């Protein structure tokens, strides 16, 4: 009976130690993923302003779906046209006031974009990234034009 109690006690202690180690390392891992995802958002904005279709093709999933600032429904082809077709460029911009939430291999980013040179409001966004084992890709987006500051 005493051996059983000692064995149960050891199993419980090992379980607590393992839980503590996972809880202790989780914030650092989350911060790394947050930074990775925020860098992907800026990569997206840079590729949009530079007309870099190759970068957009890699970043945006084939099954992407989204809503543009004007309410139009978007798919990947709307953002990355077939080779040879010219695509409109977005003005240079940067991410502002963003928040990242992780749900396993899914990341949701909410924030705003501010244009660097234009004297006009940017837009607010919600982006969804999925890590399918070969890196993070944008699978969904919702954008709405920001209201001008009063």
Q: Which domains does the chain show, CATH number per domain?
A: 29-145 (3.10.450.50)
Walk along the chain (150 residues) and give the pLDDT tens digit of each residue: 666 554 444 444 444 344 444 444 444 456 788 999 999 999 999 999 999 999 999 999 999 999 998 899 999 999 888 776 777 788 889 998 899 999 999 999 999 999 988 777 899 999 999 999 889 999 999 999 987 665
42, 94 Cβ separation under 8 angstroms: yes
The pTM score is: 0.76
CA distances to 3, 4, 10, 17, 20 from 7, rounded to whole Å, are 6, 5, 5, 15, 20
């Amino acid at each position: 009976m005493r051996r059983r109690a000692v064995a149960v006690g050891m199993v419980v202690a090992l379980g607590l130690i393992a839980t503590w180690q996972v809880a202790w390392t989780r914030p650092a891992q989350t911060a790394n993923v947050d930074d990775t995802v925020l860098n992907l958002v800026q990569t997206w904005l840079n590729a949009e302003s530079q007309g870099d279709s190759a970068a957009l093709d890699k970043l945006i999933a084939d099954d992407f779906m989204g809503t543009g600032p004007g309410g139009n429904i978007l798919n990947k082809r709307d953002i990355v046209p077939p080779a040879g077709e010219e695509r409109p460029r977005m003005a240079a911009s940067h991410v502002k006031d963003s928040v990242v939430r992780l749900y396993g291999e899914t990341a949701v980013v909410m924030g705003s974009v501010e244009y660097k040179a234009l004297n006009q409001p940017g837009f607010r966004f919600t982006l969804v990234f999925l890590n399918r084992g070969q890196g993070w890709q944008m699978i969904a987006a919702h954008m709405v034009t920001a209201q001008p500051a009063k």
